[in-house]
Amino acid sequence: MIQKKICMLGAFAVGKTSLVGRFVRSIFSDKYQTTVGVKIDKKIVSVGDEQVNMMLWDLHGEDEFQKVRMSYLRGASGYLLVADGTRKDTLDIALSLHETIQESVGTIPCILVVNKSDLSDDWEIEKSELDDLATNHWEIIYSSAKSGEGVEEAFQSLARQVV
């Protein structure tokens, strides 16, 4: 079976861990999360008639967007860039993270996930801004780790791109 390393990136509290939790049910390396600052989960998905074992690296830490450890990105086949639809600054952080990664790791498949779509009342990120990105070949998926909307779709879509 093919294995792929996938990273979860984004500002703190945007819902990276929640998205992974929603996507997989495994709770293995919980105890490492505070000491090491990364939690690894896995889920096997089907792409066509191929099975892909997605190793999901979820980076922890309060200010992870500031000093994301580039070493964790080494060997990644793709990443989910997560923003919180109710906090406009999280999109800016996501985009600047993207730039940093491109500089250090190069261009690898990536999807922009705008999370917390269930909180439409507190929505801050303008649709027009996302539309602009979409026209610039960004793949954008609205998701909610709470309701489950778009979660499967986001991971599946990335899986298709990395195989």
Partner 1 sequence: MSDSSTQDDSPKKTPSDVTGDSLDELRRLILNREQRELESLREDVEHLTKRPHALTPDEVSDVLPDAIVRRTGQDRQLARALSSTVEEAIQTSVKKDPQPLVDAIFPVIGPAIRKAISNALSSTIQSLNTTLEHSLSLQGLKWRMEAMRTGRPFAEIVLSHTMLYQVDQVFLIHKETGLLLQDVESGNTTVQDADMVSGMLTAIQDFVHDSFTVKKGEQLDTMQVGDLTVWIERGPHAIIAAVVRGAPNQELRVVLQDAVETVHLEMEVAFQDFSGDSGPFAAIRPHLVSCLQIQLAEDEETKAKSPAFWIILCACVISLSIWGFVSTRDAWRWSAYLDLLEDEPGIVVTKTGTRDGLFYVKGLRDPLAPDPATLLSGTGLLLTDVSGEWEPYLAFRPEFIVQRAARLVSLPETAKLTYEDGTLHLSGTAPMIWLKDARERVRYMQGVAGLVEADDFLTEEMGRMLDMQALVENLTIIFPVGSSRLNPGDYRQIETVTNTVRALNSAAAAVAISTQIEIIGHSDSTGSAAMNTLISTRRAMRVRDALVDAGFPASEFIARGVSATVPVDDGSQDRIQEASRRVSFHVLVSDRASDEETRQ
Give the pair of three-digit tokens for residue 71: 């070493």
Q: Is 99 exposed, middle or buried (0-12, 13-18, 19+ CB in 10 A)?
A: exposed
Q: According to the binding rule CB under 8 A, does residue 38 interact with partner 1?
A: yes
Tell which positions 41-60 bind ligand GDP, by CB under 6 A: none
Which has the closest alpha carbon to 22: 151, 157, 128? 151
Token pair 């074992």 in the structure block, residue: 53
Give the pair of three-digit tokens for residue 124: 């801050």
Measured from the CB atom, the residue of 3 and 66 that comes closer to partner 1 is: 3
Measured from the CB atom, the residue of 69 and 127 that comes closer to partner 1 is: 69
Measured from the CB atom, the residue of 2 and 13 that comes closer to ligand GDP is: 13
Give the pair of three-digit tokens for residue 43: 């889920």
Q: According to the binding rule CB under 6 A, does residue 90 interact with ligand GDP?
A: no
| Binding-site partner at residue 74 among partner 1, ligand GDP, Mg ion, none, CB < 5 to 8 Å by type | partner 1
Tell which positions 138-157 bind ligand GDP, by CB under 6 A: 144-146
Distance CA 138, CA 70 (A): 22
Write down the least CB distance from residue 58 to ligand GDP, Å. Answer: 7
Distance CA 26, CA 39 (A): 11
Q: According to the binding rule CB under 8 A, does residue 71 interact with partner 1?
A: yes
Judged by CB under 5 A, the residue of 9, 15, 17, 130 near Mg ion is 17
